Structure 1
């Protein structure tokens, strides 16, 4: 069975996830790092190209090859026209393209969910395109400054030949990235691709945590608590490696009290200590990260939250798009099917000796089922397409759910019974009620 984001109800093929440091993950949630790195890189490339041009002209003049120097001056003068045009048009081009893109993102946010904006922010092609556009503009300005009014081959100091070729290459790269960027932005406006992207990231989180799920373990008596002393905000993630290292040095077990995604305020406990003295504050610095919104990094339930939001927005009277709700429900069922036989409940992070040093609470099976189905079920009675798809999904999950050692069927049976009761209360005609409660994986086809 695999975690490769395959279709169907089985768990996708497992792939060993790469461990991302919190810094790297946080940089992916920013939009300034890639353009800044691009500007620094292009400045270094320009410096290298400028040095190469100067060395080339100096070598030709020392050899007395003034005719060749004159030819190079002529070639660069022809390229100067193109570079001047690129320099004057690139910033206008950047402004128009990204203004249109921001309008598209705003439309997607209003139609699907405000949480989908993070897909645009984290998009590699978006950051790369913006970085290359800015780098091309800055490079063209730097190259323009290298052109001389002197045309005598004996007196010429700099002929920006390599720099001009580098600028041409950057222009070509910008055009290719523009095509890819437009395609990526158009995909962002299609709900099926947004839902698929969210599902992909949800399985990525599940694959990172799957081997660390464990049943409740005896941690020993609680010997202390550590309060949050940072700003108020949503608990985005914790630095697992640093917490495990701090707990190992003290010979204790740390337990994360709030879940990832909870809102924490200063002074409230975030870590419980079991088995000894709490680690010093200096060892726990930068181990808890809070922000203004949830992220996928360690948040198992965030994907279901987004999918449920998309379905609810689609079922609102202003939109009334039950087909989109069914598409979101398809992926909710897929995710629940992949986690139906996992222990869930808690993650146990171990040190190199195999000792549990950090226990992290995560949503259990009942939590995930309620998160994925409760709010959509409340809107289903007036939409037979949604109620039929939900009935089919619950039946599929009941077929997959193990009875022993943990009863996973009880919350599914509860949701099915509540759905039946809601339809019976809402739909007056017996034939319509029977139709709305039929099992259909496509809703109404």
Structure 2
């Protein structure tokens, strides 16, 4: 729920409007109470006009903020359309979760609502009413207007920066990096004394990494399902966004079973189709009521949504970067430089992932027995995701082929010997693609040399280019 709300435009503006209504009702009441006891020095800085002037100011503020809010919303929609059509529809979530957009809209709507709410409390003295001008309330409306003007300037500057493709790719890279470090903690490098605010997080990450390695040493290979297992089916169609690990473990212990979920986050699930299996630890068949409870509990623990998110999806960032590269290589765009930069970001993520445990995620009970096996993407899956489409769509572009070769070299240097087969398979595909293209002899020679450098990196050697 928190992740869903974070990617919506309405929660923060709604909160701003609610607070504005409360302030618009409370501030005039406070004005009435302190009107006679207000210090003269403070009164000099407050609004000093009559009721008609206060009404004019508040009406001007409300009218102008409606126009500015409409402009801001229009620019936001245009930005979303640009990101969707020119780069990738998967980038819309990054924009809608941007706090600058949400905060700016919240401030504009709050100022508009506050001005209207205060306007109703201003009395001109007609129709037998006592003239009342909430000086502090009108002054606060003026200050909110100044803040809105500054926010508009910041918003336009932020928008101009956000629509740049380099900024988009950096945002995707940062979000993917946070997801990787949250789901696949690794031993932090000793880089001197950590900063005070980071020390607790680094120690916690190191503890999780040690626990993961200890668990991996205990478990060996994940348990294989026996021939006759209980098929677990999908409860709702959509993209697998997250798995409630605690609920799965609790259900497995209650049924004295072992669960296997062989669909990872980001997979497209169809209701009623298999997504895993369950089998009893003692070999005895499940009782009918146990079987029903287990199937229902697993279906509720596997959460689906209408779109992919980075909540538990390690591959989502690579999917976004690959989309950008594929779109840049389309005939209508023809921007190989953007594709090369996207591959650079993908290479950085792959090099990090290659140094982490990408095997199945195992959940243990209190007796340290495996109860749940969750699928995670392998290095082969991730490498295919990052390389296959750019290699296909950029097969005739030497710059793209060169960057793919460099990516394989960098990943080959970073991965352990046991993870080299996917790199070797990708290198074979790259060589086949190069041989099938009608390239200039100089370009073909350069690519051949780069593929040889990939082989050297697989062997643990890195040849440096001579200085010019």
Query: Is 1:82 the equivalent of 2:57?
Result: yes
Moved more, 275-284 or 113-122: 275-284
Query: Is 1:38 the equivalent of 2:16?
Result: yes
When residues 271 and 157 of structure 1 are mapped into structure 2, their CA distance, relative to the original with a 3 A threshold, is farther
Q: Is the 8 A contact 2:12 2:106 kept in 1?
A: yes
Query: Is 1:393 the equivalent of 2:407?
Result: yes
Distance 1:282 1:161 in 2: 61
Of 416, 428, 431, which residue of structure 1 is paired with 2:442? 431
Q: CA deviation at 1:160?
A: 2.1
Distance 2:369 2:120 in 1: 62
Instruction: Write the deviation string for residues 124-163 of structure 1: whole angstroms up to 9, x where unpaired.
Output: 11111111211111111101101001289x9747542332
Q: SS at the partner of 2:239?
A: strand
| Partner in structure 2 of residue 131 of structure 1 | 106
Q: Which has the higher contact order (CA 8 A, sep 6+)?
A: 1
Of 308, 314, 327, which residue of structure 2 is paired with 1:313? 327
Q: CA deviation at 1:285?
A: 7.7
Q: SS at the partner of 1:417?
A: helix
Q: Is the 8 A contact 2:405 2:447 kept in 1?
A: no
Query: Is 1:100 the equivalent of 2:75?
Result: yes
| Partner in structure 2 of residue 15 of structure 1 | none
Q: CA deviation at 1:255?
A: 3.2
The TM-score with structure 2 as length reference comes to 0.77
Distance 1:145 1:350 in 2: 63
Distance 2:367 2:3 in 1: 27
Query: Is 1:200 the equivalent of 2:174?
Result: yes
Of 85, 88, 94, which residue of structure 2 is paired with 1:119? 94
Q: 1:10-409, aligned counterparts within 5 Å? A: 23-57=1-35, 74=49, 78-150=53-125, 156=130, 158-211=132-185, 216-218=221-223, 224-230=230-236, 232-270=237-275, 272-275=277-280, 277=290, 279=293, 287-349=301-363, 357-403=371-417, 407-409=418-420
Distance 2:262 2:383 in 1: 22
Q: SS at the partner of 1:427?
A: coil
When residues 54 and 269 of structure 1 are mapped into structure 2, their CA distance, relative to the original with a 3 A threshold, is farther
Distance 1:282 1:142 in 2: 50
When residues 141 and 395 of structure 1 are mapped into structure 2, their CA distance, relative to the original with a 3 A threshold, is same
| Partner in structure 2 of residue 18 of structure 1 | none
Q: CA deviation at 1:54?
A: 3.1
The TM-score with structure 1 as length reference comes to 0.81
Q: What RMSD over aligned residues (CA atoms) do the two structures have, in Å?
A: 3.2
Q: Is the 8 A contact 2:251 2:298 kept in 1?
A: yes
Q: CA deviation at 1:55?
A: 2.4
When residues 274 and 112 of structure 1 are mapped into structure 2, their CA distance, relative to the original with a 3 A threshold, is same
Number of residue pairs aligned between Structure 1 and Structure 2: 407
Q: Is the 8 A contact 1:391 1:437 kept in 2?
A: no
Instruction: Write the deviation string for residues 177-202 of structure 1: whole angstroms up to 9, x where unpaired.
Output: 22232222222211111111111111
When residues 99 and 199 of structure 1 are mapped into structure 2, their CA distance, relative to the original with a 3 A threshold, is same
Distance 1:45 1:84 in 2: 17
Unaligned runs of 5+ in 2: 186-207, 282-289, 455-468
Unaligned runs of 5+ in 1: 1-22
